[in-house]
A = this chain, B = another copy of it.
């Protein structure tokens, strides 16, 4: 199992900013997850993968694809105090879920 974070590359966020946004998504997805999934995921090492996507439209489309496949997601909006416009969507978090389930929807995306 793994958690996957899909980060918008068009926002040109710095690496500290990206890390903070991904951390928000990690906790939000963790809180949404079923206890059994968390236990299994942690027993396998709590794998986390960070991917990139070109923009908001593609990110929202991917979220709809996840929902259709019953993959749990969370969307992170930035407060916008620094670097990006207030309210911008920065990251889509997915899972934890089975690697194969997630790969089926994110297999076309590159590692960040």
Q: What is the oligomeric copy number?
A: 2
| Stretch of A12-20, A67-75, A97-105 with 4 or more beta carbons under 8 angstroms from chain B | A12-20
How near does chain B come to A1, taking the closest CB pair, in angstroms?
14
Instruction: Please measure, in the bound complex, the distance between the C-alpha atom of A60 and the C-alpha atom of B71, giving whole angstroms.
Output: 38
* A107 interface contact, C-beta 8 A: no
Residue positions of A touching B, CB distance < 8 A: 3, 5, 7, 14-27, 30, 45-46, 48-52, 79, 111-112
Q: Which of B21, B27, B48 contacts A20, CB < 8 Å?
A: B48
Assuming A3-B23, A23-B3, is B16 touching A111 (CB within 8 A)? yes
Please name all residues of chain B whose beta carbon is closer than 8 Å to the beta carbon of A30 when the two chains form the complex: 27, 30
